[in-house]
Amino acid sequence: MPAEPRTTPPAISEDDVRQVAKLSRLKLTDDEVAHFTGQLAAVLSHIATLHELDVTDVEPLAHASDRHSVLREDIPGPSLSPGAALQNAPDRQDGFFKVPKVLGQGGGA
């Protein structure tokens, strides 16, 4: 393997998992936090093998496709009706998605 010093990232802690869950909009239970921390640590330690490679001069590859910024003619066509777009909404009113109060007391968004 190339000679770049191996800089293995630190293992993940329960506090890290809580933070990541918050960023992920997942309200985990304490049991889940404990359970997932061990599993994620094992996966991350396997992922750390990527640090064996020297990738300094390698260009990132985000996508295997050679197609970029494909354009089409701007022609109006049929699209979803408001009714069809809303048909799976858990709650709706007057043609809108309905959410709990987000401002004032009881808000928190």
Partner 1 sequence: MELLHATLTEQRDAIARGDVSSVELTRAYLDRIAQHDPALHSYHEVFDERALETAAAVDAGKVSGPLAGVTLGVKDLFCTSYGHTTCSSKMLAGYRSPFTATAVQRLEDAGAVVLGKTVMDEFALGSSCETDVDGGARNPWDTDRVPGGSSGGSAAAMAGGLAAATLGTDTGGSIRQPAALCGVVGFKPSYGRVSRYGMVACASSLDQAGTFTRSVGDAALLTKLMAGADPNDNTCADRHVETDLEDVDTPVMGLRIGLPTQYVMEGANHPAVQDAVEAACDLYRAQGAELIEVDLPHTAYGIPTYYVQMTAELSSNLARYDGVHYGHRTASPTAGLAELTALSREEGFGDEVKRRIMLGTFALSSGYEQQYYDRALRVRRLIRNDFDAAFGTPGANADGAGVHAILCPTTTGPAFKRGELIDDPLAMYLNDVYTVNVNLAGICGISLPAGTADVAGTPLPIGVQLIGPAFGEQTLLRVARQYEKHAGHEGLRPPL
Q: Closer to partner 1 at the Cβ: 27 or 94?
A: 27
Q: What is the closest distance, in whole angstroms, from the C-beta atom of residue 5 to partner 1 in the complex?
A: 14
Nearer to partner 1 by Cβ, of 40 and 94: the residue is: 40
Q: How far is the CB of 92 from partner 1 (least distance, A)?
A: 10
DSSP 91: S
**Smallest distance from the beta carbon of 3 to partner 1, in angstroms?**
16
Return the number of other C-beta atoms located less than 10 Å from residue 38's C-beta.
13
Q: Which helix (H) or strand (E) holds 92?
A: strand 92-93
Q: Residue 32 CB, nearest distance to partner 1 (Å)?
A: 7
C-alpha of 46 from chain center:
20
- Could you list the residues that contact partner 1 (CB under 8 A)? 7, 9, 12, 16-17, 20-21, 23-28, 32, 36, 39-40, 42-44, 46-51, 53, 55, 58-65, 67, 70, 72, 80, 84-85, 87-91, 97, 99-102, 106-109
Residue 39 and residue 17: Cα distance in Å, rounded? 11
Q: How many CB atoms lie within 10 A of CB 17?
A: 23
Assess contact for 55 and 6: CB atoms under 8 A. no
